[in-house]
């Protein structure tokens, strides 16, 4: 992989990708690009094909059909020195010390031993594990092991960073810390592909997203594109009194004194406010915002009953 590919050329290019397992088509005619320097969210419910797509891109699976290129060509293991991949299934040598494991992987990625040791100590201090350098990996908690795994993934300053559920199992404090580390990688020039179910992470970090559903692209574009297509505007309302049904809006959320409304096509928000007041609703607050990705995710996938997995 080489930084600075031709202007306008995507770093990752997937075209007409199909993946069959036996008689089952898991991915069907999937096409998308990831541009140099962007953070790209690959989203979907369990079983929608996210991990399968990443594994085929990296040559772990052999695609049934289609083009899957990184920097203009099929990925080969020798290209891995500039790649950081955090897989869904983590893999560390658990009987060894934290520092030995990190230094070993650092040297595999081309760092000198001295550089790997220095980098590892600095990283461990940053993630509040400075006192665990000589501790065996299997003596760490799951969240602590996850921090080590992410460190191993980013320690070579990869040009392409592929993260499959990087903050799974983290509390909010550690999730924010790990998001800060990912943002540092992006500022350093990395292109990031991220699989996550944490929609606030996507809204914070991602330039564009692709929503996979049953192995096909349900939506693809900027977050605003997806919000406009599936969500549009949400009205958040604090009120007293019964909330009437109306031809002007759909009620998405209705709690005791709080509601979220979706204006119907061609409806102005001021018309909705006027109707509510005219029909006797005591409006304490009335605000509009783009529908969150979390709500869109629920709308797109909430009726599915997919198996857990890819």
CB atoms within 10 A of CB 4: 8
Q: What is the pLDDT of residue 295?
A: 84
Outline where 172-292 has alpha helix (H).
172-187, 199-205, 223-226, 269-278
pLDDT of residue 77: 82
- Nearest alpha carbon to residue 155 among 193, 205, 121: 121
pLDDT for the residue numbered 7: 57
pLDDT by position in tens, the chain (length 310): 544 455 578 999 999 999 999 999 999 999 999 999 999 999 998 888 999 999 999 999 999 999 999 999 999 888 877 899 988 776 788 889 999 999 999 998 889 999 999 999 999 999 999 999 999 999 999 889 989 999 999 998 899 999 998 887 788 888 888 889 989 999 999 999 999 888 888 988 899 999 999 899 999 999 989 988 876 788 999 999 889 999 999 998 899 899 999 899 889 999 999 999 999 999 999 999 888 888 888 888 876 544 444 5
pLDDT for the residue numbered 301: 86
Which residues are bridge partners to 161 per DSSP?
A: 84, 192
Provide φ and ψ at 207, rounded to 5°: -85, -45
Residue range(s) occupied by CATH 3.40.50.300 in the chain: 12-227
Model pLDDT, residue 1:
52
The two structure tokens encoding residue 18? 């199909």
pLDDT score of 89: 73
Please give the pLDDT value at position 82: 84
Q: CATH assignment of 12-227?
A: 3.40.50.300
Confidence at residue 138, expressed as pLDDT on a 0 to 100 scale: 92
CA separation (Å) from 97 to 4, 161, 264?
Answer: 37, 25, 59
Read out DSSP for 83-102? EEEE-SS----TTSBHHHHH
How much is the pLDDT for 306?
46
Confidence (pLDDT) at 204: 86
């Amino acid at each position: 992989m080489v930084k600075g590919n031709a202007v306008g050329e995507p770093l990752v290019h997937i075209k007409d990708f199909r993946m069959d397992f036996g008689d089952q088509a898991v991915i069907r005619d999937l096409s998308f690009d990831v541009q140099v320097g962007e953070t790209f969210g690959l989203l979907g419910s369990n079983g929608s094909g996210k991990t399968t797509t990443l594994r085929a891109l990296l040559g772990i699976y052999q695609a049934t059909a289609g083009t899957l290129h990184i920097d203009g060509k099929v990925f080969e293991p020798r290209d891995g020195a500039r790649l950081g991949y955090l897989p869904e299934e983590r893999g560390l040598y658990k009987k060894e010390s934290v520092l030995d494991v990190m230094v070993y992987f650092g040297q595999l990625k081309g760092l000198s031993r001295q550089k790997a040791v220095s980098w590892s100590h600095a990283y461990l201090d940053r993630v509040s594990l400075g006192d665990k350098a000589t501790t065996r990996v299997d003596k760490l908690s799951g969240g602590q092991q996850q921090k080590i795994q992410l460190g191993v993934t980013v320690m070579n300053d990869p040009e392409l960073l592929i993260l499959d559920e990087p903050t799974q199992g983290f509390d909010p404090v550690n999730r924010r810390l790990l998001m800060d580390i990912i943002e540092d990688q992006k500022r350093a020039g990395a292109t990031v592909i991220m699989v996550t179910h944490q929609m606030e992470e996507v809204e914070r970090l991602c330039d564009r997203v692709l929503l996979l559903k049953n192995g096909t692209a349900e939506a693809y574009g900027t977050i605003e594109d997806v919000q406009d297509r599936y969500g549009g505007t949400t009205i958040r309302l604090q009120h007293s009194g019964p909330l009437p049904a109306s031809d002007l809006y759909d009620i998405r959320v209705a709690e005791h004194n709080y509601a979220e409304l979706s204006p119907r096509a061609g409806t102005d928000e001021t018309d909705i406010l006027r109707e509510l007041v005219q029909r006797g609703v005591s409006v304490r607050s009335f605000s509009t915002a783009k529908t969150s990705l979390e709500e869109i995710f629920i709308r797109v996938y909430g009726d599915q009953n997919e198996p857990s997995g890819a």
